[in-house]
Every structure is written in structure tokens, then in C-alpha cells.
Structure 1
Amino acid sequence: MESASHDAPFTFSWLALKLLGRGLYSNPWSALSELVANGLDAGAQNVYVYVDARDKSKATIEVVDDGTGMSRADILNYVKVGFNKREHAMATGASNAGEVKGRKGIGKLAALFLSRHFYLQTKHKDDGSNWELDARDGKVSDEENPSLKATDDVPWTANEELWNQTATGTRLVMLDVDLTGYGPQSINALGSRLANQFLLPDNASPRILLSVRSSETETNYNYSPVKKNVAFGNLAEIAQYFTSNDVQPDELVGDPTVLNVPAKELPGGNYEHIQSRTTFPLDPPEDESWEEIAKFVDRSNQTYQGVKYSLTGWIGVHATIDNKGAKANDNRFIKNKYYNPAQLRVYVRGKLASDRLLSQLGITGTYANYIEGEISFDLLDDDSLPDIATSNRQDFDETDGRVTLLRALVRPIVGNLIQRRTALAKQISAAGKAEKERRDTSAKHQFSDQLRRDLDHHSDISKGIRDELHMTITGKVQGNVPVKQNFRVFISHARADKAFARFIDDLLRSRGVRAEEVFFTSRAGAVDLALDERALSTVIKENITDANTLIFYMTSRHFLDSQFCLFEGGAGWATRAVSEYLKLNMDFNSIPKFLTDGRSEQSVIGPDDNIELRPELHNYLVKGVLNPMIEHLNRGREIAGGVLIEPFELRTAPSAVEMSREGKTAKDYFDQSIVEHWDVLISTEIKTYLTEYLKQ
């Protein structure tokens, strides 16, 4: 047999490289992260990613870094599939050899996955060069070996100036990248996805900067650093452990935050909670996985097959995963089809190795989906141990002992966080139950007081009978009979009298009364009633009958002419006790008979047919209108545990002689808030209003 005269080396055809690329990456963003990692491994302080997606079927993606660049020898290594970059770095004594993320020599296939036609430019301290790979249809067959070709004809892009200013580094320009199927939200979410691929320091180098152009109208090419969307302010409980060499988020260095957990049973709808932080256990509790790997692991020395291991990072449980509630705690919270915070991201040498660990722990329950974390476990890619990455390079072989060890370390931490979140839920439930009991007691107390006032209004009934009725009725309420706890003021007025109604409403609002505490159809800028499809009469009736409502009637000739005002008066008379209403009368002759109960009356129009803020009108507004409204609303706030409203102060002016002596008028002694609102809302309308009113 004739012996071979020379070797027969393996070669990679274009078809083989295409198949490898398709198997390695599931989407463009995963491939892009590999190219960013190459820049970081080259010692770059800045890696720029530019996406021009104006035509998504033929997008352009550029990656520019300011690393060391590649010499001619480095280019020859670059085209070698399987070149061990980490081993080479250690052999050449590179300063960042221990931080190099890649060791398989296949990350360069990411460019081939994204584009069949790309340019590579590099600047090295010794030289610089430009290269092109064109494997488009008709340019190279599947059997041919693709190759980089030196070129001086690199197409112009928006990053030309950026590249010209870069002393050393590498630039990849990938043309005709297919991004069809990736909508605007997916492309806009690229920043957080890129940020999640790496553990980088906050507000320091190295940085990844991104610029996306998705429409013709966008002309701004400014780059912004990518940022993670970790809502640390929404994490109720956190377990963490960092060494001096680890990247620790700034939010975990300062004092724990105070956050709110949604609790509709409590005042304000939230339960205030101080974020709790603990440390990863040095010797984790027993787990079912320890037995499987007992022969490989020395727990006391923390070694796996003689190799030291360490779990660092943080894991937390969210207070809530409802977008609205979580964003109230931390506006960075995002949960949608493009981003799910419920994941444990596992990093190796600062690069994301897997985001599927949470689903692999086998933990179920309500709060399993509230877990988020970022942990480092470099044992998974230790140089002295076999490679356990799956064929797509985006996860690990779940059956390997190192992954089993990781689960044994993490599962107790996650389980403890879930237990603590469950305990917090029980605390909130107990607080809600206690609050309900307090509200019920307070509501029944308020009911008892209101009933006493109503009965005392009936002077024709003897005190003994009134006391007996009070005792009998309140005794029946002590059981499970619900008492209305929603206290409200209803301003009943004709539209022609809206200036006076707005005056009352604005004064109440200036004291901190909420809009929902006052039903008022003429509030400036309000559209709720206009958008309500129900009949106005239905809305009015519900606001009178469904809440503990104090009705205020602004009576006038206009009131008598309005069918809605008469409806409101009739509904109030039929459904409320006779003492539970307030009035302000424009004149004595316009008071409806069913609203006259024999008590003294106050009119807005004075004896001289004029309207002015007289002392008796001012004091009536305070004592007979505003403060009774505030007192009523405060009863509801006491039940709800809310902040009480400050009443208006009743002022007494000195004699006319004393005021003359001091050069003052009665208005100088009035509540200045009432004076200010009167001057703005009433005085400017008086002349026109009186002219029309007195014609009738």
C-alpha cells in the first residue's frame, strides 16, 4: 500500500458554516451579543451597536469597539473556527486573560448568522486593514470555502466619523440583515436585552452603547448606554453575596428602600414594607440534588472535582408583578411579551450563560413567578473541566453535575424568598382583617352619631322614646348589617348658578378634598359625566343613594325652573333624613317648600338687591356650609384611616368704629382663602348674574 505523501486537513465549506450558525443562535439579538462580547474581550471600553432598520428586510447592523484591534496574525486566528481565544490570551500573557469570555472560537459565526455580506475593519497598534466577506447567492457555492478578502472599498455609513476617531479597535458592518418579523417594540427592547447579556458596572466602563434608526424621519444618531430594566425598588426580599471582584448593582449598596405592596383592604390600597436583605447561606440547607453529586462535591471546602466554586450575585422576590403597582415602586419595571422579569439569569465570566434556571428548579406556587435574579457561577465554564454548553450555546446540559450543583445551591435560596414573601402576604391579610374590623366599628359609631342627630331633630318626640329608638336601631347594626362607608358631598345646583357651586367646590378642593368626594356636574374641565353613557338622572340617584351622602342645595329661581334640581331635591328628601342636607339660598322666595323645615335661613342677595361677602354671609358659609361638609367627609376619612381635612376658621370682626380707626374693613378679618375664591369666582360674575336674575 502506498503511504500518504501529505496530510488531508479538514475544511469548512459555506454550507457547513451556515448550518453551524443556524444551530448556534435562535435570534439576531443573541448573535449580536456574541459580537459585543468579542469587543469586550478585546479590552474595549466602549462597544457601539448601530441598527438601521428603516428597511427591515435589508437592515444594516454595525458593531464598533475601541479595543486593541487585530493584527495580521490575529486576522488569521479570527478565521479559524475553533480557535481557543482564552487559551491564546493566557499563553501570550494578555492582561485580561482571566476575563476573556470566549474559548470555543465560534463566536465569529454570529456575523455569518446575521449577514451573508459584511465588512470588517480593524485598527491595531502595528497596522490596520479592511476585509470583506461576500457570500451572497451567486458569489460563492455551498461547497466553496468562504474567505475574507482584503478591500479598500468599504461602504459609507452614519458611523464613519465615529470610526475615524477611534485609535484602535474593530468595526463590523453587516449588510442586508433580515429583521422582518421583529416589530418596533422588539427592536426598541434591544437595549435591555443587550444589557442583560453582560454583568457590567453601573455608570462606568466598559459600556455598551446603542443607536437604533427605525424610520426615515429619525436623523439622530446619538448613542445611549444600554441599561437593564431591573426594578430593584419593587423587590420585597433580596438575598445576595458579592466578593470584591464582582459587579454589584448600585441599588444593593445603599440603604434598603421602602416600597408598597398592593393591599386594597388597607387605607390608600397599599401596605408599606421595608425591603429586606440577607446573605446567601455559606452552607445551604439540604436539597434533593446533593445526593446525586456527593462523590464530586466537597461541601466543606466548596470544590467540585477539586475545582473551587462560588455562587455570587443577587436573587429577589418582587412585591407585585402587576405593571401599575410595580411601576409605582420602580418605574423600570417591565412585563410584556418582550421582557419577563421572572427569570434567574446565570452568568459565567460576566456573560449570560442561561436565563432558564428558574424553570429548571421545579419550584411551583403563587410567588414562583415573582422571582428575579442575576447570579455568577464560573464553575460552569472552568478551563480544567469539559465543556457542557448545549449545541446552541445558549444553555447548559441539565444532566451535568455542575448544573445539579447550581440547582442545589440556588433552590434553597429561592424557596426561602418565596416563604418570606408568603409570610408578608399573611401579614398583609392580617392587617387587612384588622383594618376591616376597625372600619366597621368606626362606621357603626358614625352611624350611631348620625342617628342621634337625626332623632334629636324631632323635638316633637319625647327624649325617652328617642333614646329607646336609638338603642334599638343601633343594636340591630351591631351584627353583620353593612353600614355605608363611602362619604360624599352632593352639590345640587342649576347650571345658571354654577359660579356659586364652583366657589364651594374650589374652596373644598383647596382644603385637600378629593374630586371623588364631591359630586358636582359643573366642575371646570371635568368630562366624566359627559362620557358616562347612563342617563343623568340615574347617575344623580346613584350618587345620592349609594353613598353616605350629604346634600347641599344651592336654591334659587333657576333651581325651581330645573327639572334635575327638583329631581335631586325629591330624591334627597325621599332617601335621606330631614337633617342631612345643607342649603345656601339666593333669595328667601325661591326656597322649595319641601326644603323648608322651619329653621332660620340665610340668603346670598342682600336687602339692597346686591351680592357681596357680608360678615353674616361669610360666617354662614363657614359654619353652615363648608365646615359641616368637611365634618361629614372627615367621618368617612376616619373610617378609612385617611388624613383629616382642616376646617375653616370662624372669624369675628371688631366694631365698625375700631375697623375705621385701623383703616380696615370686615373683609380683612375674613378667612383669606374664602375672600380670594370669592373675588376670583363670584365678584367677576355678580353684575351680569344679578341683571339676569332680577329680570325674572
Structure 2
Amino acid sequence: MSKEYEISIDPRILELLGPNLYTNIYYVLAELIANAYDADAKNVYIISNKDDIRVEDDGHGMSYAKGDVRRYLDVAAESRTTETDSTTKSHKRKKMGRKGVGKLAALSVSENVDVMTIAGGDKSGFVLSRRIEKDRKLRAIPEDKIEFEHITKHGTAIVMKAPQYRLHNSLTAVKRNLLKIFPLVSKDFKIHIIRGKESEVIKDFDRNIMTELITLITLGRAYASLGDLVPNTFPKKRKELVGTYPTKAIPLSLTDNKGAEHEYSLEINGWIGTYQSTKGRKAEMTDFPDNFISLFANGKMGEFNILPVVGQNKLNEVYVVGQLHVDLFELTELPDMALSNRQGYKSDDPRYVALLEYVRRDLLADILRRRDTFTDLRNTDKKLKKEEKQKQDEENLRVAFDDFRGTASKAAAKNLAKLGVKMPLESLEKIVLDSINQNSPNLGLKRLVDSQKKRILISQTLPDKSFADIVHAMLVFNNVSSEDILYTNCDDEVCRIPEGRHVYEYLRDFFIESYSDQKIFALFITSENTKVSWGAITEVGAAWITQIDHKIFNIRPFRPEHPLDDETQWQSTNRDGKPDELWMTPLNADIFCQKVEAVCDTLGYKKKKRAENKAHLGTLVSIRKD
């Protein structure tokens, strides 16, 4: 019989919508793959040829006699109106399609698209075009011209001719991009990517992405096992980096399509994590970036990236990646909340608003805290390794120099004896060795050791942290590197003692039991809290024993005493009640700046001018007359 293909839509709509409905080749492919999924296909073949891009599937296909083709050409007719027709023919899958416009996706790529299908031996074919005749008839493809490359008994082929978009040159990149927008693949639904003799098969979630993460949060039992794939970088802190949560359920009161209000549960499943590094992650113009939080419903992507909406432009947000599944977004009895281009959701829908609020307030904040924990652990680990290397280098230097002294003194003594010096060999050896010891600093051997030392210790108690922070800020303002400052309660992790190290062990290793003769310069923050702090008293004693230079920054009414240098003028600051209610007189503000500048002069830092320092100090503490 003669077959006719009439499209039930105003022809102008294809010309208007076709080229503009989708903005990316992978969104188009996702729509065609979704159609195949809804047709209960087990295999989808994406074939990139020289002159076309072909998408074939081994789904049920469409029968002309049974009205399948007519229903396909009924554009914008909803494919889901009740829960009964919300599943595929096999009743094993939830339908992805709903609006009835996904079939137009291919027109975003090509002006003319061949649609060929077979079901029960019944072949049909027609050309879907952006421009059709006024009678709405599409050009038929003769049955002898209907050909398939990978299917035989049933299925559908969509051929986008002279495509305006092309797939990535690398099939691996194509695979990566498809997995980002269509992760619902399994042994029962495979995607084959073919170009010439090359081919890739997608049959499982991209688990490789988990090996690139250092933190992860999973939601729901189906995703809990992903945590096992994240590298165990810091085993003792595993629970602080990887979290496994149950499905997040948010109760909502919503109005269904009939206007009746019901209580629903917005259930969120999926995962969110952070990369260890973003290096090498620059995407091609047609690719999707690796930094995103995607939303899926019924396995189909509804929005690729909500991160710009939920984020707060924090630097560590560039490491975030995630995929969240919210099937309530596609519940048939509720209004359709997807935008017409299937690339986003209506921003005022209560389901969307609730999801964004949860991600912004809880989920994103949680994963960023875990990322900060990893950064602290990594920095601590680097510091410990650096210190171990420093200690080993110093020991090697010590051994090498001791060996040099012994060898050189013995050789010099023998040479002097040969020249006729009349003294015992042991005496000559001692004279030469003493001379080497006296002049060894001039050899520059300690410079390497000295260059790796902390140079300034801010000795304080935790209740006086607000004043110690001012001293620290003024040092940094005067070009003192934070790397050179040891301040145990500092907000800047660089200044603190490495995790796992005790402050006194650290001081002993690097400032007393060292080949270097460089001594740390101590700035003592003293107050009534000092005399009841064992740690502060110990540091004062250590300073006196090792005879290191120090300056005193005092909070009244406390009066510093010996062994501190209480005979030299100290700086005084006033406190009104609370620890951070500090103020200085103009005189003591000047003395404060004078002492900071003196430290810079002693240690060779390029200090600021007095006027600049006083002005900056005024931004940190109140300066007023008595």
C-alpha cells in the first residue's frame, strides 16, 4: 500500500524551533538515546560517518499499520499523561520522554533528517525537514532504500545528513561527554560509538571519575559503593573525606495536574565530590566542563550544571563535580517543570527551589568542608616531609663536615711534619682542627640550614589571640613572610606547628639541636594570662636559657618580670573587659610600630615607614587618648 507521512503541526514551527531547540550535539544525542531507551532498546549505535551522523537502536521500532508512526509524527503530544503510560512497553523502565518534542532534536543538527524504522517486518521511512510543504506531507523513503547498519528485525535509525555539528575527534572524549549527560547505562542498555574501524562501548557508569576524586558524599544505597573507589589518601581521616548518607528526603506540599494538593517526598539520590586537581581539565568548545553538578530525573538529564546557581564563587568550588537524581521532577501526575529545550527547569517550581536550597545550604557546604580538610591534611603532610628532609639534609651536612674536619686536619698535620715543623703530630692536628672550627662559619656551610628556619616566634596564650593577631598582621604588613613566623594559634595554617608535632619538640629540633647557630627572635605577648599558662612560662624560660633576642608586647595591668628583659621599655596595650576589646594610646601605638620595625631591621626585612605603620595599626585596633 502507499504510505503517507503527515506531520500534525504547523510547518513553520519546525523552521523556527528546529535549529534553536538544542545548543549542543550531545544534548541532541541524549534525546535520541532517551527515545531508544523508551523503546526498550538494549543497544544504541552512534555512528559518525563522513557525511552524516547516524543513531540506530534495537528497540521495538514503529509499525505504520498499528499507528506507531502516526503517533511519532504527532509533535508536542504528551507521551505520559497517567501513571499507567509512564512506563515502557516492557514495564521495566520509567519513560524519559514527556513533551513530544525530542523528535525535533535532530533538526538542530541537520536541515534534513532521515527517519527509518522496522517493526514486525513492516518498514517505514520519511525525511523530517525544517521546511515542509503546506499539505504537511513529508517525503517518503522507498522501502528498498531503507537500510540499517546494525539492526535487522526491529528498531529505528535517525540519520542526520550534512550535520552542522561534529563529534569530538576522540571517541574517548565522545564517551566521556555522553556519560556526563546520560549516565543510565548498564549491561541491559549499552551505547556503541563507531567511527570507521574505531569503536567504543559504554556499558557502565564512568567509575574512573571516582579515582580522580579526594572527597565524596553519596546519597542513597545505590550509590554508596562509589565511596570504595575514591583513593584512600589519608586512611586515618577517611570518614572526614568520604561520607555515605541515606537518600535525602524533603517533604513538600504540591498541587497535581488536577488542582488537588497532596503531600510528597522530594527524594534526592546521587553523589557529589571534589577533584584532587583541576590540571589538564580544559574542555573543547563543544565539550562539557568537568566542574558541574547535574540534575537527572528518571535517568534523563534535566539540567547540566546548577553550580553557578548554588555556588558562592569560592575558589575551591572549581573542584566540585556531582550528579543528583530527583525522580519527583518527572512524576507524571505533577505539572511538567522542564523547559522546552530540555536543558533546564522552571526556576519557580517548588521542587526545584527546595532542591537548590538543600544543595546550597547543606550538600555543597559539606563537600567544601571536606575539601578544606583534605587541603589541611595535604599541607601538613608536605610540611612534615619537608621537615624530615631538612633534618636529614642537616644531618648529612653535619656528617660530611665532621668528616672533612677530621680528614683535613690529619692531612695538614702530615704535610706540616714533612715540611720540617718540629711538633708532635697530635698537636699539629689539634691546631689545624681548632683553626677550622673557628673559621667554619665563613665557609657558608650553615646558610642552607639557616634559610629553612622559622625566624620569629609569637609567644602567646589563646585568651590573648586577638592581640597576637594584631602583631602577626603588622609583621606581614612589613613584608615578613608568614613562612618565617611560628604562631601556634594563627588562622594561617602556614604559621602553625605541623599536625602531630608538639611545639616544644619542634622548637628543640629546629632551634637548639641544629647545626645552625641562627636563633629565633621571640615576641612575647604578656598579660595576666601568662602567669597561669605553663606553655607561656616554659617559652620564657627557654628564651632565657638560649639567650635569644626578644620584644615584649604587654596587656595591662600585667607587669613583665625577669627573666624577660623587664629593664627595657616594653609596649603596653589596654583591654576593656572582653578579650578583643583592645585599645592603645597614641604613645603606645608609636612604641608598637617602633618595636615591629626594630624586628624587621634586625632580621633584614624591608619595613614600612612609621606613618604607614601607624595608619595600618589604626585599622586593627582602637587608638585613643587616656
TM over 0.5: yes
**Are residue 198 (structure 1) and residue 192 (structure 2) matched?**
no
Q: Is the 8 A contact 2:241 2:373 kept in 1?
A: no
- Which of residues 308, 314, 317 in structure 2 aligns to 1:365? 314
Match of 2:265 in 1: 308
Letter paired with 2:191: I
Greater mean alpha carbon deviation, residues 449-458 or residues 344-353:
449-458
**Are residue 212 (structure 1) and residue 169 (structure 2) matched?**
no
Letter paired with 2:63: S
Match of 2:47 in 1: 50
User: SS of the residue aligned with 1:99?
Assistant: coil
Cα deviation, 1:397-416, whole Å, max 9, x if unaligned, reads 22322222111222312211
How well do the aligned residues superpose, as a CA RMSD in angstroms?
Answer: 3.8
Match of 2:202 in 1: 225
Letter paired with 1:278: G
Letter paired with 2:55: V
Deviation at 1:28, TM superposition (A): 2.7
**Are residue 20 (structure 1) and residue 17 (structure 2) matched?**
yes
Q: Is the 8 A contact 1:241 1:312 kept in 2?
A: yes
CA distance change for structure 1 residues 294 and 393 in 2, over 3 Å: closer, same or farther? closer
**Are residue 171 (structure 1) and residue 157 (structure 2) matched?**
yes
Q: Distance in 2 between matches of 1:349 and 1:61?
A: 26
Q: Distance in 2 between matches of 1:362 and 1:380?
A: 22
Deviation at 1:259, TM superposition (A): 4.6
> Unpaired segments of 5 or more residues in structure 1?
1-9, 214-219, 262-270, 285-289, 298-303, 324-332, 486-696
Match of 1:463 in 2: 430
Letter paired with 2:363: I
Match of 1:608 in 2: none
Deviation at 1:106, TM superposition (A): 0.9
Q: Distance in 2 between matches of 1:86 and 1:50?
A: 30
Deviation at 1:391, TM superposition (A): 3.4
Cα deviation, 1:49-93, whole Å, max 9, x if unaligned, reads 1111x3xxxx21222111111122111100001222233782498
CA distance change for structure 1 residues 276 and 419 in 2, over 3 Å: closer, same or farther? closer
Deviation at 1:13, TM superposition (A): 3.2
| TM-score between both structures, scaled by the size of structure 2 | 0.59
What are the equivalent positions in structure 2 for 1:144-183 lying under 5 Å apart?
Answer: 145-147=136-138, 149=140, 151-154=142-145, 159-160=148-149, 162-164=150-152, 167-179=153-165
Match of 2:612 in 1: none
Q: Distance in 2 between matches of 1:39 and 1:357?
A: 27
Letter paired with 1:354: E
Q: Distance in 2 between matches of 1:97 and 1:424?
A: 42
Q: Distance in 1 between matches of 2:328 and 2:282?
A: 31
**Are residue 106 (structure 1) and residue 101 (structure 2) matched?**
yes
Match of 1:133 in 2: 127
Cα deviation, 1:593-618, whole Å, max 9, x if unaligned, reads xxxxxxxxxxxxxxxxxxxxxxxxxx
Deviation at 1:273, TM superposition (A): 8.0
Match of 2:423 in 1: none
Greater mean alpha carbon deviation, residues 358-367 or residues 464-473:
464-473
**Are residue 384 (structure 1) and residue 333 (structure 2) matched?**
yes
Q: Distance in 2 between matches of 1:192 and 1:210?
A: 11
Deviation at 1:230, TM superposition (A): 4.8
User: SS of the residue aligned with 1:174?
Assistant: strand
Match of 1:238 in 2: 216
Q: Distance in 2 between matches of 1:259 and 1:11?
A: 59
Cα deviation, 1:440-459, whole Å, max 9, x if unaligned, reads 33222222221111111222
Q: Is the 8 A contact 2:217 2:244 kept in 1?
A: yes
Q: Distance in 1 between matches of 2:13 and 2:356?
A: 36
CA distance change for structure 1 residues 155 and 210 in 2, over 3 Å: closer, same or farther? same
Letter paired with 1:192: R
Deviation at 1:208, TM superposition (A): 1.0
> Unpaired segments of 5 or more residues in structure 2?
1-6, 256-260, 414-427, 453-626
Letter paired with 2:28: A
Letter paired with 2:45: Y
Match of 2:34 in 1: 37
**Are residue 70 (structure 1) and residue 62 (structure 2) matched?**
yes
Q: Is the 8 A contact 1:198 1:351 kept in 2?
A: yes
Match of 1:121 in 2: 116
Q: Is the 8 A contact 2:192 2:201 kept in 1?
A: yes
